[in-house]
Amino acid sequence: MPMYEYYCRACNGVFELLRSARQSTDSQPCPDCDAESERLMPTTFTAFTVRDGLPRSIPDRGTFWHLGQEVKRPVNEPALPFEHPDLDKHPETMPSAEEIEAFDHQLDRDAHEDAEADARGMLAIQPQREMARGKFVQRLAATGTINRLRPRKRSKGTSA
């Protein structure tokens, strides 16, 4: 009889059982806690668990997942939202004066739009915008050009 892998959600464990192919898709009791456990399909990567507070694939290969990409470690150093050190393989290129100016203008436009939205009580967090902004700020920081942004007062944030 072939060997199949099963995953127990109750105790977050993987175990193997010899089962006939016909029986293999049935859920099986976990040997540790007796909870019903589902078979792990060896070719699929859809099963996840949370370990150390971070999502990991099952079977657990010791890797972590960050925004759908497999990484070797959790983010355990200062990093921007949506960024992961493992995935940042490209050295940053120096932004041109035009790019910095365009970014400056964009910040002003965004702040203006936010103020208007806030006045209508419709201020919303915009993850795409924040991500793009974060990336550019990181590029400025990495290339030592962050001080070329116009200094501006911190916008008065509304409590989200």
Secondary structure of 48-91 as H, E, C letters: EEEECCEEEECCCCCCEEECCEEECCCCCCCCCCCCCHHHCCCC
State the number of binding residues for Zn ion (CB under 5 A): 7
Query: Could you say whether residue 58 binds Zn ion (CB under 5 A)?
Result: no
- Which string of x and - marks every residue 13-32 that binds Zn ion (by CB under 5 A)? -----------------x-x
State CA 128 to chain mean position distance: 13
H/E stretch holding 8: strand 3-8
Query: Could you say whether residue 141 binds Zn ion (CB under 5 A)?
Result: no
- Least Å from the CB of residue 37 to Zn ion: 7
Query: Could you say whether residue 100 binds Zn ion (CB under 5 A)?
Result: no
- Least Å from the CB of residue 11 to Zn ion: 3
Interacting positions 29-48 with Zn ion (CB under 5 A): 30, 32-33, 35
C-beta nearest to Zn ion: residue:
30
The 3-state DSSP class for residue 105 equals: helix
Spatial distance between the Cα atoms of 144 and 127, rounded to a whole number of angstroms: 25
User: End-to-end distance of the chain based on CA atoms, in angstroms?
Assistant: 57
Considering the complex, state which of residue 10 and residue 67 has its C-beta at the smaller distance from Zn ion: 10
The 3-state DSSP class for residue 7 equals: strand
Segment contacting Zn ion (CB under 5 A): 3-11, 56-64, 107-115, 144-152? 3-11
Considering the complex, state which of residue 11 and residue 141 has its C-beta at the smaller distance from Zn ion: 11
- Least Å from the CB of residue 10 to Zn ion: 4
Question: What's the CA dihedral at 137, 140, 141, 142 to 10 degrees?
Answer: 120
* Residue of 1, 11, 18, 67 that binds Zn ion (CB under 5 A): 11
State the residues that interact with Zn ion by CB under 5 A: 8, 10-11, 30, 32-33, 35
